[in-house]
């Protein structure tokens, strides 16, 4: 495989990006504008009722972010006119047919113009309502595919999935697409239409009962967990993302398709500057709890490999995958990539705890009273959910019920968590159950395809040096200590 320059490849291209207010899509947009200002047009699909709101969201939630400071500096006073020429915010909704684009003229223009679609929009909460996750993650993928089929110059549809569509896997997880109906437990039969029907029936039932929003949310969240677990997935997010992949892979027809499956995405490693991040996800929930002095005991194993990857490396891999697809001889095949680190440069819970300890000892968070927060020296990791539940029951639930059997239990965990009520305890158990699959994960993601891509990139010209996504180049201790945790504190904990 011979790769030419990214610069040449992107020149004059028109790209549609969905989910452009999100963490990863925003980084993709920033990098494209920074490395190839001669892009023809970026259509950014933002969830909005009308173009006015979409444009407002583009300015407030995308361009105004610190992330764009390098591009802003590059253009100075011309930044506004550069953006007006190159970027168009379009109002849409991926859960609707035609991606919810109401303006027929605009839609037809887009079908004529677009060369590449990057589909990043998703419902990313692990415990999202089943109906919502299905309509965005599964049906949204179908709507993006159908939109691609209407584009006359369509070159590539790149779909952002997640490596964890594999469920709670063990051993080497292959870079293979899903066949229709394939499930992690291999014992159940999955039919996407049946799942949709179940959702409709449940919604009908809730309407008949005049159920309020809160009840409906709770019922639909539960349904998501039940259906996901039945087929072997831990939550509605990965279940509906897996079904989205099934639809794409099995219904793509002639559309050249890339499925990129990042693992756990952390802040930027280098570009446009180290440490930029938005939102607290997966492993960062625990880093933040630790920094706040609220993590003393949790489910997990010290030697669990956290498969993580800096966000800018994900973006670089996406751009190189697009470039490769352009030159690939077999565009009819699906190109699928795991973008992670577990195989080539593993980083464990124990490593993370050490570096978090170093960071927060030197730079403690400041509590409401202006005092530095004390962190625990070592977290006690409990290697099964049942042991954790047993512990929590003895330590907290029985006393709440007026039973006193804790006298012999000598634990200091969560002492300053101030669990005043059962509600707080339930929240903690819920969080733990949600994250347990990742804290006890026993799989390693094969990344042969990604490695082939890296080798091709390394052989090619200088221009590709700016698109590093080799996990072996991450010095975990240095990056987490000096970029990732400071970024989390600056942009998320504040």
Ligand X SMILES: NC(=O)c1ccc[n+]([C@@H]2O[C@H](COP(=O)([O-])OP(=O)(O)OC[C@H]3O[C@@H](n4cnc5c(N)ncnc54)[C@H](OP(=O)(O)O)[C@@H]3O)[C@@H](O)[C@H]2O)c1
Catalytic residues: 237, 241
Q: Which of 29, 42, 160, 219 binds ligand X (CB under 6 A)?
A: 160
Query: 462: buried, middle or exposed (CB in 10 Å: 19+, 13-18, 0-12)?
Result: exposed
Q: How far is the CB of 476 from ligand X (least distance, A)?
A: 17
Residue 177 interacts with ligand X (CB under 6 A)? no
The Cβ-side half-sphere exposure at 442, using a 13 Å CA radius, reads: 6
- Which of 41, 47, 294, 484 lies at the binding interface for ligand X (CB under 6 A)? 47
With CB under 6 A, what is the number of residues at the site for ligand X? 25
Residues 80-109, interacting with ligand X (CB under 6 A) = 93-95
Contact set for ligand X, span 108-127 (CB under 6 A):
120-124
Of the candidates 14, 138, 235, 264, which one interacts with ligand X according to CB under 6 A?
A: 264
Nearest C-alpha neighbor of 121 from the set 265, 21, 233: 21
Task: Supply the minimum distance, in Å, between the C-beta of residue 398 and ligand X.
Answer: 37
> Least separation, in Å, of the C-beta of 397 and ligand X?
33
Rounded Cα distance between 39 and 116, Å, is 12
CB of 245: closest distance to ligand X in angstroms? Answer: 11
- Report the alpha-carbon distance of residue 188 to residue 180 in Å, rounded: 13
Residue nearest to ligand X (CB): 22
Cβ proximity to ligand X, 25 vs 219, nearer residue: 25
Closest CA to 178 of 165, 193, 168, 189: 165
Question: CB within 8 A of 441, min separation 6: which ones?
Answer: 168, 169, 304, 305, 307
CB of 262 to ligand X, least distance (A): 4
Q: Which DSSP category does 168 fall into?
A: S
Supply the DSSP symbol for 377. S
**Which residue has 């549609």 as its token pair?**
16
The verdict on 23 binding ligand X (CB under 6 A) reads yes
Q: Provide the 8-state DSSP code for 388.
A: H
Separation of alpha carbons 91 and 439, rounded Å: 38
- Residues paired with residue 336 on neighbouring β-strands, in sequence order: 259
Assess 21 for contact with ligand X (CB under 6 A). Answer: yes
What's the CA gap between 31 and 271, in Å, rounded? 8
3-state secondary structure (DSSP) of residue 89: strand
> Of 396 and 469, which CB lies nearer to ligand X in the complex structure?
469
Other beta carbons less than 10 A from residue 259's beta carbon: 26
> Nearest to residue 117, comparing CAs of 308, 255, 298, 295?
255
Entry field: residues in the chain: 494
Instruction: Give the nearer residue to ligand X in terms of CB position, either 224 or 262.
Output: 262
Q: Counting contacts by CB under 6 A, is residue 167 touching ligand X?
A: no
Footprint (CB under 6 A) of ligand X, residues 187-216:
none
Q: Which of 110, 265, 320, 352 binds ligand X (CB under 6 A)?
A: 265
Stretch touching ligand X by CB under 6 A, among 203-211, 250-258, 261-269, 388-396: 261-269
Q: Which residues, 276 to 305, sit near ligand X by CB under 6 A?
A: 279, 281
Which residue lies nearer to ligand X by CB, 271 or 395? 271
- DSSP notation for 430-442: HHHHHHHHHHS-E
By CB under 6 A, tell whether 19 contacts ligand X: yes
Q: Should residue 232 be labelled a site residue for ligand X when binding is judged by CB under 6 A?
A: no
**29-37, 205-213, 259-267, 479-487 -> range binding ligand X (CB under 6 A):** 259-267
The dihedrals phi and psi of 483, each to the nearest 5 degrees, come to -125, -55
Measured from the CB of residue 261, what is the shortest distance to ligand X in angstroms? 7
Largest CA-CA distance found in the chain, in angstroms, rounded: 73
Which listed range, 19-27, 193-201, 328-336, 340-348, lies at the site for ligand X (CB under 6 A)? Answer: 19-27
| 24 contacts ligand X (rule: CB under 6 A) | yes
What residues make contact with ligand X under the rule CB under 6 A? 18-19, 21-25, 47, 93-95, 120-124, 136, 160, 162, 241, 262, 264-265, 279, 281
């Amino acid at each position: 495989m011979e790769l030419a320059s990214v610069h040449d490849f992107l020149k004059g291209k028109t790209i549609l990006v969905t989910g452009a207010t999100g963490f990863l899509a925003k980084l993709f947009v920033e990098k494209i504008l920074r490395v190839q200002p001669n892009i023809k047009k970026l259509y950014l699909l933002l969830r909005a009722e009308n173009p006015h709101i979409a444009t407002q969201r583009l300015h407030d939630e995308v361009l105004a972010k610190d992330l764009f400071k390098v591009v802003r500096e590059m253009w100075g006073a011309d930044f506004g006119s550069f953006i007006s020429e190159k970027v168009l915010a379009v109002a849409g909704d991926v859960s609707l047919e035609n991606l919810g684009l109401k303006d027929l003229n605009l839609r037809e223009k887009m079908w004529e113009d677009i060369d590449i679609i990057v589909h990043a929009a998703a419902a990313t909460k692990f415990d999202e309502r089943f109906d919502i996750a299905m309509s965005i993650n599964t049906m949204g993928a179908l709507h993006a595919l159908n939109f691609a089929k209407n584009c006359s110059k369509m070159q590539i549809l790149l779909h952002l999935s997640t490596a964890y569509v594999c469920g709670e896997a063990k051993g080497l997880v292959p870079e293979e697409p899903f066949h229709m109906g394939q499930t992690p437990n291999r014992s159940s039969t999955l039919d996407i239409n049946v799942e949709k029907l179940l959702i409709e029936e449940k919604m009908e039932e809730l309407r008949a009962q005049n159920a309020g929003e809160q009840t409906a949310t709770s019922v639909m969240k539960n349904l998501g967990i039940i259906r996901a677990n039945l087929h072997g997935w831990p939550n509605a997010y990965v279940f509906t993302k897996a079904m989205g992949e099934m639809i794409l892979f099995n219904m793509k027809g002639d559309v050249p398709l890339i499925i990129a499956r990042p693992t756990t995405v952390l802040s930027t490693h280098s570009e446009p500057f180290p440490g930029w991040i938005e939102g607290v996800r997966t492993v960062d929930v625990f880093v933040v709890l630790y920094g706040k002095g609220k993590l003393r005991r949790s489910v997990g194993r010290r030697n669990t490999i956290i498969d993580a990857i800096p966000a800018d490396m994900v973006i670089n891999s996406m751009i190189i995958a697009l470039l490769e697809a352009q030159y690939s001889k077999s565009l009819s095949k699906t190109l699928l990539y795991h973008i992670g680190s577990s195989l080539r440069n593993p980083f464990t819970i124990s490593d993370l705890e050490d570096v978090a300890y170093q960071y927060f000892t030197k730079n403690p968070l400041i509590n409401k009273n202006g005092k530095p927060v004390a962190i625990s020296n070592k977290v006690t990791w409990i290697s099964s959910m049942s042991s954790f539940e047993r512990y929590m029951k003895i330590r907290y639930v029985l006393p709440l019920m007026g039973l006193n059997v804790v006298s012999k239990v000598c634990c200091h965990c969560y002492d300053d968590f101030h669990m005043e009520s059962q509600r707080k305890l339930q929240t903690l158990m819920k969080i733990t159950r949600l994250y347990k699959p990742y804290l006890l994960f026993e799989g390693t993601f094969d990344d042969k395809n990604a490695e082939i891509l890296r080798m091709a990139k390394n052989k090619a010209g200088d221009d590709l040096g700016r698109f590093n996504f080799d996990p072996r180049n991450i010095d975990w201790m240095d990056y987490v200590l000096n970029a990732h945790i400071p970024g989390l504190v600056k942009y998320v904990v504040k």
